[in-house]
């Protein structure tokens, strides 16, 4: 068999392996194949390029790099954990060579992948060998999505959007609905939305018009946990493109690509988009502007005393967060300031949601309510495009 090999600085290979093996290492769902207990990364070499990739049922990842020092063309799979552990054990700068001349079947490894590391001064060589698995264990990914981007934005903005609403996600949701971040296009631009079925976080980033694609797709769902983990693999200067391509949604930037499966029709039908539209269309009236620090302190105290829920009450000139929604005889925690209106009755809120929402904001909090006073909307006075709504969606 012909030899396949490439030479690369070890820090660069470490980054490529971490990004390419992201799906295998970070997904909590196993790939059902003969070697599903081995978290595999696929290494591919072509004329002038090297790629690493992995796949799981809920996400796939790849990283491609232009490279001149390559020999032959071929693919192989190895244990991601083993090769990353050895690469990361190198302390000083090394140049590494990765080579193989065959691989086993889907069931049984055969042949070896050799990793040789030489210090920059050439004084010492370290060598490791790994079982070589059939590359069809990790089906090849399309290098680039065929469609144009729905959206392009810098990494800092994307992290800010996801971080601002992440508190409203329902982790490990068995229904596979509320553990996602919703990305949709509206007449007012792009919105990122998260909800657990009771409370909602919404952020509308300010983007230049040319950053928003011409394709009118208003419904993309991305697994919030995997998305948050993935964002740590890009540096702050990268511009991210979000692309819907057939049955998948891609996030791409600087050679690194993540591929999420598009939501099923069942998930689409269960996500409360129509309710979100009604929520957005309902007018609200500002009742108070609250000091963020005092509000957080009051919310923490209420959460320590309440069983999951608290009540927001506005009276003339004061705001109170009660630690017991149903029993008004309990003492309220006087929180904040500048109440400009009153409420007929307290609004029931999630203590944790209220606390997390206020901590995600930067400025003071502007509280508004809908006409029948069943829902509170909290906005960031420094960035009004970040806001949160609290109501019982599932009971509406």
Of 178 and 393, the structure prediction assigns the larger pLDDT to 178
Task: Report the percentage of the chain scoring pLDDT > 70.
Answer: 71
Find the helix packing angle between 224-231 and 155-165, rounded to 10°.
140
More confident residue, 352 or 381: 381
157 token code pair: 């903005």
Helix (H, G, I), strand (E, B) or coil at 263: coil
pLDDT, tens digit, for every residue of 317-342?
Answer: 566 666 554 544 454 444 455 556 66
Mean pLDDT of 192-200: 80
Question: Any idea where the domains of the chain sit in the sequence?
Answer: 4-137, 151-280, 285-395
- For residues 277 and 270, give the distance between their C-alpha atoms in angstroms, rounded to a whole number: 15
CATH architecture of 151-280: Roll (3.10)
Distance from chain centroid for Cα 261: 14
Q: What's domain 285-395's superfamily in CATH?
A: DNA Polymerase III, subunit A, domain 2 (3.10.150.10)
Q: Which CATH architecture does the domain made up of 4-137 adopt?
A: Roll (3.10)
pLDDT confidence of residue 394: 35
Taking the complete model, does pTM exceed 0.75, yes or no? no
d(CA 342, CA 75): 68
Burial of 136 (0-12, 13-18, 19+ CB in 10 A): middle
- What is the percent of the chain with per-residue pLDDT over 90, rounded to a whole number? 15
Query: Fold identical between 151-280 and 285-395?
Result: yes
Do the Cβ atoms of 153 and 207 come closer than 8 Å? Answer: yes
At 89-104, the pLDDT tens digits run 998 888 999 999 876 5
Instruction: State both tokens at 373.
Output: 């006073």
pLDDT interval class at 146 (50, 70, 90) = low
The per-residue pLDDT for range 214-232, each reduced to its tens digit, is 555 566 788 888 788 778 7
């Amino acid at each position: 068999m012909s030899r396949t090999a490439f030479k690369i600085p070890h820090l660069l290979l470490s980054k490529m392996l971490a990004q390419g093996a992201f799906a295998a290492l970070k997904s909590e769902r196993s790939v059902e194949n003969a070697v599903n207990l081995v978290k595999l990364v696929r290494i591919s070499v072509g004329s002038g390029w090297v790629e690493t990739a992995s796949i799981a049922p809920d996400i796939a990842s790849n990283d491609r790099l232009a490279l001149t020092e390559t020999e032959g063309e071929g693919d192989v799979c190895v244990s991601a954990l083993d090769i990353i552990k050895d690469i990361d054990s190198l302390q000083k700068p090394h140049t590494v060579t990765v080579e193989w001349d065959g691989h086993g079947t889907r069931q049984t490894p055969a042949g070896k992948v050799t990793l040789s590391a030489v210090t920059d001064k050439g004084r010492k060589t370290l060598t490791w060998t790994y079982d070589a698995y059939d590359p069809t264990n990790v089906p090849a990914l399309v290098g680039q999505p065929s469609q144009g981007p729905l959206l392009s934005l810098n990494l800092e903005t994307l992290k800010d959007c996801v971080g601002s609403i992440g508190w409203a996600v329902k982790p490990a949701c068995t229904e596979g609905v509320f553990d996602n971040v919703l990305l949709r296009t509206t007449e007012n631009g792009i919105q990122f939305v998260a909800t657990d079925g009771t409370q909602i976080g919404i952020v509308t980033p300010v983007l230049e018009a040319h950053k928003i694609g011409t394709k009118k797709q208003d419904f993309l769902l991305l697994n919030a946990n995997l998305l948050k983990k993935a964002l740590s693999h890009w540096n702050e200067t990268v511009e991210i493109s979000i692309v819907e391509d057939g049955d998948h949604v891609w996030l791409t930037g600087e050679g690194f690509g993540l591929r999420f499966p598009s939501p099923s029709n069942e998930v689409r039908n269960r996500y409360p988009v129509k309710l979100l539209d009604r929520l957005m269309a309902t007018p609200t009236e500002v009742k108070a502007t609250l000091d963020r620090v005092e509000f957080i302190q009051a919310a923490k105290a209420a959460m320590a005393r309440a069983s999951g829920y608290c009540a927001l009450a506005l009276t003339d000139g004061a705001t109170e967060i009660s630690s017991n929604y149903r029993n008004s005889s309990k003492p309220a925690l006087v929180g904040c300031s500048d109440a400009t209106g009153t409420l007929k009755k307290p609004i029931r809120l999630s203590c944790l949601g209220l606390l997390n929402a206020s901590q995600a904001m930067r400025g003071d909090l502007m509280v508004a309510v809908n006409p029948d006073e069943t829902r509170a909307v909290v906005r960031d006075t420094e960035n009004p495009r970040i806001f949160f709504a609290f109501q019982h969606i599932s009971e509406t």
